Structure 1
């Protein structure tokens, strides 16, 4: 009897015993082409698949020539998306993800898919659409996207989508916008950010031609996070202070970057990824309590010095190192590191106010056991009068700090 009972238990379909809502939730995490296949299991599974809130379509095969086999797969993909959307009925779509390469003659079809998602009250729209055409004709993002009242997240990466939003009432519910454009030749990108009344998170990546100046106005009174990256053959400029030695950097670029940074002087939490920042270009961060500073192989400890001096109420500090091939090629490690640390030590003869009165936690990670790293870590630990914890990720550095202490209540942790 016991053996028979165990055998029946092993053969039991426990997945099918789950509630429809749970099964639907599970299917929402896999690509649509796989979730569709469950519809052949039974009438119940067909109903479950039809209720999945997320649609994920991807065709990222890239070919310079539309050969028969490739073309057959591509046409199959188009027909599959058409069929799935035609069976959607009146059910809402939570997330619509479309990643594909396409032909110019299929632009109208893609526009139709986007509009269908909007009609089904989509909340998150993720578009990565690239044209195979060298001349690269374009199509406009449908007006219904800008007017959609349910759209909260919009991600667009494309070499063929342009933007012509209405002059008012754009993006009434949009809180997260992530846009990547390649070689924009008109002002459509500029128009995209002119009316975002509730936008909180904005990420912009653009690849521009040498002679092109890309300018735009961002109107987003509720903005809390901004990330911008611009690439060209001559210059790489980023709001997160990305800079390489030997690359072009003039007074005009520095002045624009300074004005931009001043707009964030009232932030409470700040993350900066920096290769180089000219001295004196940072504003005062009187309200800053949390700072994360990502340094590259160029290090530039004077940036940390200036940030600490201008952040009197800082309570939490994270210093992280990341490798950078370009930085290494253009930097004399031994000589420059020692000068940089010496320069910071001279400026720190009087410790920054935050070290004496506010800074409670420090994390140092990603660094090797170089002498200059030890000097900086020891200085922070010795002068942190209210420190409660320092976390390090290097065993050698941990041993060096065991006897250092400026605060009796501080302890050093090795992770």
Structure 2
């Protein structure tokens, strides 16, 4: 039989449905098959653009060509797209200039997009106001970095069913003239790490149930009280060491059940020997902060901290340690007598403890771990059902 191209004779609606199962790159690629296929991809309702994050391995010339290719790849489908969009996903780095990204998002919104997923970090970028007045949106997911997110008051979003409930504000070295202004009645997760800011305005933080708070300078004290008072309904909290020095006065975290106290740089480091490379400067104000924090968390059930945090435990055992704490994890544990005594303190005083996990430094031998295990297993324990794990 003579070869017959039956697929190309199918209606546009069926061909579009077939292309919807392909990636955007593959769908656009079908435009070179024949004149019949040249513009079929413009009818596909889903557009997914993801700038591959491997530019650090390329030389400058290759990097520039890669960026230009990506820009052209996004421009073509958006400019030729003829129907309304169902989904629009965009992920790209700061090499793509803000005005170009602004144009892409605005075009997607004008196409009546229903599901918008944006993850970007361009320079000189301000979020388009049209994005917040889009009446077709049912799902909105935003991940902005190094940009201005200007959300107008009274945003309608009549059909919005799912929105971004996570906010991350990371440290910058040019924020000393900036104000931190938060009015977030529906925020669920908040990650904060600004070095220096000029001032703050914090409102409607009661919905936050999980947070990561990092401070690096003493001016954090100026607004730490307002921030902590705003998140009293929190369930899970991660604090860095320096934040402890700002823990006075503290409100009562009546719903806090999970707490982690860590060193920010150690948490971010992927180095196997990070614990050996980082020198943490501990101060008496941090000791006091730990005592205040524990006494302000009466329902605490899970506690994780690096061994430096246990350098001085309060003589008066906090209520949460006596009767509520169930899971304890000590990170960066060293085989020294002082820290062994702190582990004994936990075993002796925590009545509800079910599991004590000790994560040692990478240079601790199996023999030393075994010896530590023998010492702790032979120590007095308030909880008769506590499992001790040394890894």
Give the TM-score category using the shorter length.
Answer: 0.5 to 0.7
Unaligned runs of 5+ in 1: 1-19, 131-137, 228-238, 322-336
Equivalent position to 1:306, from 292, 295, 298: 292
Q: What is the CA–CA distance in structure 1 between the aligned matches of 2:26 and 2:333, rounded to whole Å? A: 43
Alpha carbons of structure 1 residues 309 and 38: separation in structure 2 relative to 1, 3 Å: farther
Alpha carbons of structure 1 residues 359 and 77: separation in structure 2 relative to 1, 3 Å: closer
Query: In the TM superposition, what are the counterparts of 1:168-183 in structure 2 within 5 Å?
Result: 168-169=154-155, 173-178=163-168, 183=174
After TM superposition, the score normalised by the length of structure 2 is 0.67
Q: What is the CA–CA distance in structure 1 between the aligned matches of 2:229 and 2:347, rounded to whole Å? A: 30
State the secondary structure of the residue aligned to 1:393: strand
2:238 is aligned to 271
Query: In the TM superposition, what are the counterparts of 1:3-402 in structure 2 within 5 Å?
Result: 50=44, 54-57=48-51, 73-86=66-79, 88=81, 89-93=83-87, 95-102=89-96, 108-118=99-109, 119-130=112-123, 138=124, 140-148=126-134, 149-158=137-146, 161-169=147-155, 173-178=163-168, 183=174, 193-194=182-183, 196-203=184-191, 213-219=198-204, 222-227=207-212, 239-240=213-214, 242-243=215-216, 249=218, 253-275=220-242, 277-278=244-245, 280-295=248-263, 297-298=280-281, 302-320=288-306, 341=311, 344=313, 347-348=314-315, 350-394=316-360, 395=369, 397-402=372-377
Instruction: Figure out how many residues of one structure are paired with residues of the other and give that number.
Output: 330
Alpha carbons of structure 1 residues 224 and 140: separation in structure 2 relative to 1, 3 Å: same
Equivalent pair of 1:391/1:414 in contact (CA under 8 Å): yes
What is the CA deviation profile of residues 281-301 of structure 1, one whole-angstrom value per residue up to 9, with x for unaligned ones?
333333332222225734555
Unaligned runs of 5+ in 2: 1-15, 267-279, 361-368
Alpha carbons of structure 1 residues 123 and 353: separation in structure 2 relative to 1, 3 Å: same
Alpha carbons of structure 1 residues 157 and 367: separation in structure 2 relative to 1, 3 Å: same
State the secondary structure of the residue aligned to 1:275: helix
Equivalent position to 1:410, from 370, 386, 391: 386
Q: What is the CA–CA distance in structure 1 between the aligned matches of 2:241 and 2:351, rounded to whole Å? A: 27
Q: What is the CA–CA distance in structure 1 between the aligned matches of 2:294 and 2:331, rounded to whole Å? A: 18
Q: What is the CA–CA distance in structure 1 between the aligned matches of 2:386 and 2:53, rounded to whole Å? A: 54
Following superposition, the deviation at residue 82 of structure 1 comes to 0.6
- Tell me the C-alpha RMSD between the 2 structures: 4.2
> Which is worse superposed, 178-187 or 111-120?
178-187
What is the CA deviation profile of residues 310-361 of structure 1, one whole-angstrom value per residue up to 9, with x for unaligned ones?
323322222235xxxxxxxxxxxxxxx89x84x53xx42x432223322222
2:10 is aligned to none
